[in-house]
Amino acid sequence: MSVIRTLLYVIGGLLLGGIIHIAVILLMPDFANRDAWTSLGRFGQDGAFHLLPMSEPGTEPLPYLDPQMAYAACRFSLEDGPIRIKAAMPEDFWSIAVFNRRGSNVYSLNDRSAERADIDLVIATPVQMAQLRENPIAALDQSIVIEVPITRGFALIRSFVADPTLVGRAETMLRAASCSAELPSADAPPPADPGDEKQ
Amino acid sequence: MRLLINLAIAIAIAVIVGFGSAALVLDRERMFGAVTRGAWTAWPDTGSADADPYTAAMLARTGEVPLGAGEGLAFSADADDQGSRLNGGCTYRITGQTPPARLWTLTVYDGDGHLMENPAQRTVFHSREVLRHENGSFTIAVSRSAQPGNWLPVTTEDRFRLILRLYDTPLAGGATIGAIVVPAIERVGCP
């Protein structure tokens, strides 16, 4: 009788172990202290792009970055409104990716899919997006406007550096990238819908 | 008294099974959504909002930033075509063609995922600088000792990892990855 009772406790323990397993996996991104978001905090304050040092033996700003790319990253918050990213880019491969606070990718595009040589990206939450649709801003026609279900996250720009002589040029352009470019104020009457692109 | 002992057993099992299995899973390679072609494996879902919770947990633990689906796709290799672990004591030849991409880079990392300091100051080849055969294919030698042609040096005598990153490739972005050509990884010898 008591053996059966102990067996029931063992089964209960296994079930509880399964719950702990699921909880650890799901909560890991919120408690990790070496995740990308935390690591990027070392490079400077939020709301601005910071140039990451080129990945070389001994100086790798994040694990497994491509040493053939120059990187700039910006941690942002959408709590005070949409943000606008503007950057002039070299005429070669570049891409930009947006991640949530937990480091999961929510949006990405490259120079070819953007069909333009510079970055002009407006990031908004669904609520802010609805407001933008109600009061369209003509000047935003030029921007790629994306809706993301996040309030905090980071954007990472990568720019291909074909050979070491081009590092300086790429780094100068990335240094000038803006993560809090001004959003033009709403104008009336709305002549057109804002350029609305989703992935 | 018996109740206390039983409770202690249950809690001990719960803690060991729960934390142990989570640690075990996160230390291994990502389980879900792997696409393997030849010696190369990619995880296309990693760069999208559809990434599974295990991938998210693993990324948070390592601090890695995956390539977004709109940027490209990364294939990694820890073993050669025969399935033996890549080892810095051996010489390898990477030959053939890469899957379609506007640009690719091939980078070598040591077993801990770090770039290796070497006198040739080379840790990576990209598609525009690699010397090619007349038919457009290429051969890259990976070894500790200098090799003629494309030479990607390693300085470890232990395991290492190759990562082939395809930028702006039709393989990224949700399409099913069918039969694609990937470079062969052939062990030439272990001097």
A55 and A111 part of one domain: yes
Helix (H, G, I), strand (E, B) or coil at B6: helix
Sort out which chain B residues have CB atoms less than 8 A from A170's CB and list them.
Answer: none
A63 and A6 part of one domain: no
pLDDT at A190: 46
A113 and A17 part of one domain: no
pLDDT at A96: 96
* Cα of A158 to nearest chain B Cα, Å: 9
pLDDT at B26: 84
pLDDT at A197: 45
pLDDT at B17: 93
Range of the domain at A125: 36-175
Residue A142 lies in a domain: yes
Distance CA A77, CA A69 (A): 26
Residue contact B114–A57, C-beta within 8 A: yes
Residue A101 lies in a domain: yes
* Cα of A100 to nearest chain B Cα, Å: 9
Sort out which chain B residues have CB atoms less than 8 A from A63's CB and list them.
Answer: 62-64, 113
CB–CB contacts below 8 A, A to B:
198
pLDDT higher than 80, residue A105: yes
pLDDT higher than 70, residue B174: no
pLDDT higher than 80, residue B167: yes
Question: Which residues are CB-neighbours of B15 under 8 A, at least 6 positions away?
Answer: A17, A20
A24 and A112 part of one domain: no
Q: How far is CA B21 from the centre of its chain?
A: 23
Which of A26-35, A49-58, A109-118 has the highest average model confidence (pLDDT)? Answer: A49-58
A40 and A27 part of one domain: no
Distance CA B91, CA B96 (A): 17
Reported pTM: 0.88
Q: What's the mean pLDDT in B146-172?
A: 93
A55 and A94 part of one domain: yes
Closest residue in chain B to residue A97, using alpha carbons only: B68
Pairing relationship of beta strands A144-147 and A152-160 according to DSSP bridges: unpaired
Give the single-character DSSP code of B74.
Answer: E
pLDDT higher than 60, residue A189: no
Which amino acid belongs to residue A19? I
A73 and A12 part of one domain: no
* Cα of B120 to nearest chain A Cα, Å: 12
A170 and A90 part of one domain: yes
Which amino acid belongs to residue A13? G
Distance CA A84, CA A123 (A): 6
Sort out which chain A residues have CB atoms less than 8 A from B107's CB and list them.
Answer: 66-68
Residue A15 lies in a domain: yes
Under the banding of pLDDT at 50, 70 and 90, the label for residue A196 is: very low
Number of domains in chain A: 2
A100 and A23 part of one domain: no
Residue contact A29–B22, C-beta within 8 A: no
Distance CA B177, CA A193 (A): 36
Under the banding of pLDDT at 50, 70 and 90, the label for residue A57 is: very high
A144-176 tens-digit pLDDT:
999 999 999 999 999 999 999 999 999 999 999
A43 and A25 part of one domain: no
Closest residue in chain B to residue A92, using alpha carbons only: B103
Residue A99 lies in a domain: yes
Sort out which chain A residues have CB atoms less than 8 A from B116's CB and list them.
Answer: 57
Residue contact B70–A17, C-beta within 8 A: no
Q: What's the mean pLDDT in A121-127?
A: 93
Residue A198 lies in a domain: no
Q: To the nearest whole number, what is the mean pLDDT of chain A?
A: 88
Q: How far is CA B116 from CA A32, A39, B87, B107, in A?
A: 27, 22, 14, 10
Under the banding of pLDDT at 50, 70 and 90, the label for residue A199 is: very low
pLDDT at B178: 81
Residue A197 lies in a domain: no
pLDDT higher than 60, residue A23: yes
Residue A26 lies in a domain: yes
pLDDT at A155: 96
Q: To the nearest whole number, what is the mean pLDDT of chain B?
A: 91
pLDDT higher than 60, residue B155: yes
pLDDT higher than 70, residue A185: no
Sort out which chain B residues have CB atoms less than 8 A from A34's CB and list them.
Answer: 61-63
* Cα of A25 to nearest chain B Cα, Å: 6
A82 and A132 part of one domain: yes
B118-153 tens-digit pLDDT:
999 999 999 999 999 999 899 999 999 999 999 999
- Cβ atoms of B45 and B52 within 8 Å: the answer is yes
pLDDT higher than 50, residue B25: yes
Structure tokens at B123: 């840790």
A14 and A58 part of one domain: no
CATH number for the domain spanning A87: value is 2.60.40
Which amino acid belongs to residue B161? R
Percent of chain B with pLDDT over 70: 97
Under the banding of pLDDT at 50, 70 and 90, the label for residue A186 is: low
Residue A89 lies in a domain: yes
